Structure 1
Amino acid sequence: MTESKLRDIRWIFILLAAYFALQVGVRLATSHSLDLDEAEQVFRSQWLAAGYGPQPPFYNWLQYTVFQITGVSLAALSVVKNLLLFISYLLYGLTARLVLRDKALVAISTLGLLTIPQMVFEMQRDLTHTVAVFFSASIFFYGFIRSLKQPSLASYLIAGIGIGFGLLAKYNFAILPAAALIAALADARLRPRIFERRLALTAAVALIITLPHLFWLKDNLDFATARTLEKMTASDNASYPMQVAMGVSSLALAVISFAGLTVAVFATVFGKKLRSALAAQSEWTRLLERMMLVFLTGILLLIVFGGAAGIKDRWLVPMLFIVPLYFCLKIEAAGEETDKAFRRFMPIVTVIMIGVPAALYGSVATARFSGHYERLNRPYAGMLEILRKQAEPAAILAGDSLLAGNLRQDIPDIHVLSMDYPGFKPDISGRRPLLLVWLIPHKGENEALPPAMAQWLRANLGVSAPEALVIGVPYVYGRGDDSYRFGYAWVHPPS
């Protein structure tokens, strides 16, 4: 890509860099507490493994590496996520510049990603592995399109890196390169780009990247896939026709949820021109249509033959992230004028760029007025500070990974174990006591030591259940005397 072409779209990347820097600042200002995926990253960064469970390890490996350099912190979590998102948008913009001549449409397609709720809001709120899928898909898509338009060793290498990262991000990523391959093979003009020696580089690079995890997956396939299959096939013992109907309807709702706002924004910006543009065709629109058709057909086959009954909208990220670019290709193919549309589009993007960070902060900070508390309102740090005044623990056993990750953030020098991940078994012997902590989210709940923890103590330490205590700590942004309660117990070493 020439310097002049890069200069054409440089302002988009400057705007996006400022936006994602703002998101980092907002996350740090919102709460010191961690949400589910953030806590999982902190908890699992205590060890490096070829696999961790139902999600492939790409994000875990990346976050582990960063923590080794910077130490465990919320800042490191937020910077990693937003840097991945920025690079993804950058690659998406470069891909758009390869296939679109109109600079306004390049900007609209790239910033159009901000109109997809699962990507602009949910990825900031608490997703990590889905962020990794988007990042990998953006790498692959750029390499794929570049290999079709400007083939080189570098383009095939980039595509291989994207596939390798993607398969390490989420297993459902595999459908994207499969759809791309089938879509390209269906076009006689593009077919030579597939049947060429440089494709071997793509396959080799992808295999090398995924090889460590593939060896792990071979021996842990049930462990890696059982939870996802359970979620996907949960149909409350419905009959086969009902299961298929549930799957198809959930897919339709997922597509609407994923792309509905984007369609509405493009319809608002382009008006009747969008409707007429949808009939226009080009080499690139036909390619993307075939890719989306293969993708959706694959999901339908999974519903009909695999028993899938519940399709989540975020599972569509590996393919439907191309929707803004697809619309812009349609509009260019129709030869529509774009200057007025661009002027209507930018105020909408501005509202999104201001509104999303404000909503993320407000959903937590307004609890002091509404009394409605999110996970980020829970006072993990305040609780740990109080308990550490009683004694310094040799290790902590937490009730789940959410609690374990939050505790480790503030005491990273000791091991934190979790009841929902029994595979982590560090040496916790020492002269200091073991601290047990669990959540008591609702008043009136049983405050006794959870039976599973008592069983763990007997099995691993050979000790009986200690005295269970309860501590109430004021919420972050709490209203009045509202407090969140934690159960805890100390297990002292034998004298």
Structure 2
Amino acid sequence: MTTQRPDWIDRWARRGPWLVLAYVAALAALRLWLSPHLEVDEAHFVGQTDLRMAYGNSHPPLYNWLMHVALALTGGAWAPAAAAVKFPLLAAFHLLTWDAARRLGGSRAALGALAASAFLPQIVWMSALTLTHSVLVLASAAAVVHAGALLALRPPERRHPRLWLWFGAAMALGAMSKYSFALFLGPYLAALWMGRETRGIIADRRVAISAAVFAVLAGPSLIAASLQMRQSTARMSKLFSTEGATSGLDLPGIGLDGFLSLLQAGAAWAGPALIVWWLARRGAAPAPAFPDRRADAYVQALGRTMLASLAVFAAIVLAGDMHRVRERYLTPALAALPVWLAAARPLDAPRLRALARLAAFAYVMALVGVAGVTTFSAHRLAYPYDALAAQIAERANVEGAVIVGARHVDGANLALALQRRGLDVRAAEAPWPGQPEPAGRQVLVWEGRGPRPASLRDRRAAEGPPFVVSAPLANRSGAVAAFSVEIVPPAGHVR
């Protein structure tokens, strides 16, 4: 069954890559125009851009390595370096999603996939505003989906070795982006094996090329993670947090509250796109059949992958008596949703036109939202870190000290501001459970005028009483940022 496709679909689908690049370039330009400081996730890398195989707080090395390169290319300018890494990765996600959908379902699916992403808050909003590692895992999952589509759509005799190289490299990138990528990759490979039309990808002897590429690229970091399990699993403590809307439903020995939290997170991650797509398809004629049964089989495998990923995550949460699942934890499991929606549930031309217009509005509103949040709220990008750093430098001798913030974003930004004043200071690493205390002189900073908070309480006695620095935020919120500061002498120092 075939239907005639209006010319506008082909025309706008071909423009898809240029629209993506223009949108992401606008996001990057806006980010750099709004502030020279670092957002919470960006600040995580301050103090962690050396070339290790594994990092604290459960992070594989790839993003840190990319930041290391970007800082070298930008001469140590942190905000441009952060933008130079994050926004090309966001563009890569959209471009790979567009091309995978185009190959599977034609121009209609390519345009539909870009539209679907506009209704996924973790993609259109959180990735634009704050996320870092999750953007990398989005791009990595999209790369695996893309590489798998190229293999699935070709008969075995036409699967060039470079496709197997791309397949292995994409999986390795995911493994080096977030350890939770395994929640996508395992079910994905299993789903390919379960499909009669897709099993040939896994059964093909040339998949050994992909396995070898994966082992060479990701193997060393995975081995390092296994040898540093305390660091590699530190972030799992967040799954046991009893804060959240479902915390009152905890039962002993089983993670019922965590399971309900997972459902809540899944609804927040995917719900808007699913609802919009369901409304757009109401009363529509049956979707045209796939022109290629191999494309149909691969799209079905993507659907099974997402369901299996959520099921595995749910089983882990229930069995581990975990309490809270945040939306971003589901990013690798659901990254294929735009491709699946656009290819498995295509829209007819009038409905696609209406949805594409709504999606364009959503993308524009993401730009407006980023500017609005930074301009009119007490957002970290608007904090007057340079003015606060100047006051700290006037009140105390901080030369050679380590800046430790109750929130790492504050300590990192203040350390960078003090460095811009020519002082030899550094920021403490982003904290993770059990991390040892720096041995040298420390400058402890926390927001507000109250006593030292719990996150800084297990420190040495201060040299003197805390003092307060304050300055208005550099935006139109009218708010004032105030921080308390204490100087802690080196370990073993006798007053």
TM-score, L = length of structure 1: 0.83
Is 1:294 aligned to 2:294, yes or no? no
Q: Percent sequence identity over matched residues?
A: 22
Shift, 1:408, TM fit: 3.8
Is 1:125 aligned to 2:125, yes or no? no
In the other structure, the counterpart of 2:84 is 79
The amino acid across from 2:138 in the alignment is F
In the other structure, the counterpart of 1:58 is 62
> Quick one: distance in 1 between partners of 2:124 and 2:240?
28
SS in 2 for 1:169: coil
Within 5 Å, which residues of 2 pair with 1:67-146?
67-70=71-74, 71-101=76-106, 103-146=107-150
Is 1:284 aligned to 2:291, yes or no? no
Q: 1:245 aligns with which of 228, 252, 256?
A: 256
> Quick one: distance in 2 between partners of 1:298 and 1:480?
47
Alpha carbons 2:258, 2:317 under 8 Å: kept: yes
Which protein is richer in helix relative to its size?
A: 1
SS in 2 for 1:472: strand
Alpha carbons 1:41, 1:60 under 8 Å: kept: yes
Please report the RMSD computed on the Cα atoms of aligned residues, expressed in angstroms. Answer: 3.3
SS in 1 for 2:45: helix
Post-superposition CA distance 1:119-141 (Å, at most 9, x none): 11111221111111111111111
Shift, 1:451, TM fit: 4.8
Range with greater deviation from structure 2 (8-17 or 168-177): 8-17
> Quick one: distance in 2 between partners of 1:439 and 1:329?
50
Shift, 1:437, TM fit: 4.0
Shift, 1:200, TM fit: 0.8
Is 1:471 aligned to 2:474, yes or no? no
Is 1:340 aligned to 2:350, yes or no? yes
The amino acid across from 2:357 in the alignment is P
Within 5 Å, which residues of 2 pair with 1:435-446?
436-441=443-448, 443-445=449-451
SS in 1 for 2:445: strand
Alpha carbons 1:44, 1:60 under 8 Å: kept: yes
Q: 1:176 aligns with which of 170, 175, 184?
A: 184
Change (3 A) 1:426 1:61: farther
Shift, 1:279, TM fit: 12
Within 5 Å, which residues of 2 pair with 1:393-432?
393-400=399-406, 401-410=408-417, 411=419, 414-418=424-428, 420=431
SS in 2 for 1:436: strand
Alpha carbons 1:183, 1:287 under 8 Å: kept: yes
> Quick one: distance in 1 between partners of 2:476 and 2:372?
13
Post-superposition CA distance 1:245-275 (Å, at most 9, x none): 323322221221111111232234333228x
The amino acid across from 2:469 in the alignment is I
> Quick one: distance in 2 between partners of 1:33 and 1:58?
22
| Corresponding residue pairs, total | 462
Q: 1:382 aligns with which of 387, 391, 401?
A: 387
In the other structure, the counterpart of 1:460 is none
> Quick one: distance in 1 between partners of 2:55 and 2:425?
17
In the other structure, the counterpart of 2:323 is 309
> Quick one: distance in 2 between partners of 1:187 and 1:365?
51
Shift, 1:116, TM fit: 0.4
Alpha carbons 1:42, 1:408 under 8 Å: kept: no
The amino acid across from 1:363 in the alignment is V
> Quick one: distance in 2 between partners of 1:154 and 1:9?
26
Post-superposition CA distance 1:3-59 (Å, at most 9, x none): xx99984411111111111111221232333222111123322x3221111222211
Range with greater deviation from structure 2 (353-362 or 212-221): 212-221
Range with greater deviation from structure 2 (394-403 or 112-121): 394-403
SS in 2 for 1:145: helix
> Quick one: distance in 2 between partners of 1:106 and 1:467?
61
Change (3 A) 1:480 1:121: closer
Shift, 1:423, TM fit: 6.2
> Quick one: distance in 2 between partners of 1:8 and 1:19?
15
Within 5 Å, which residues of 2 pair with 1:238-277?
238-240=250-252, 243-273=254-284
> Quick one: distance in 1 between partners of 2:239 and 2:276?
31
Alpha carbons 2:197, 2:297 under 8 Å: kept: no
Is 1:482 aligned to 2:487, yes or no? no
Flag structure 2 segments of 5+ consecutive residues without an equivalent. 1-8
Change (3 A) 1:472 1:298: same
> Quick one: distance in 2 between partners of 1:23 and 1:213?
32
Shift, 1:491, TM fit: 6.2
> Quick one: distance in 1 between partners of 2:460 and 2:229?
30
Post-superposition CA distance 1:432-474 (Å, at most 9, x none): xx66240232x44469x9654435xxxxxxxx62453221122
Change (3 A) 1:435 1:134: same
> Quick one: distance in 2 between partners of 1:73 and 1:446?
29
> Quick one: distance in 1 between partners of 2:71 and 2:269?
33
Alpha carbons 2:59, 2:178 under 8 Å: kept: yes
In the other structure, the counterpart of 1:190 is 198
Shift, 1:238, TM fit: 3.6
In the other structure, the counterpart of 2:3 is none
Shift, 1:278, TM fit: 12
Shift, 1:67, TM fit: 0.7
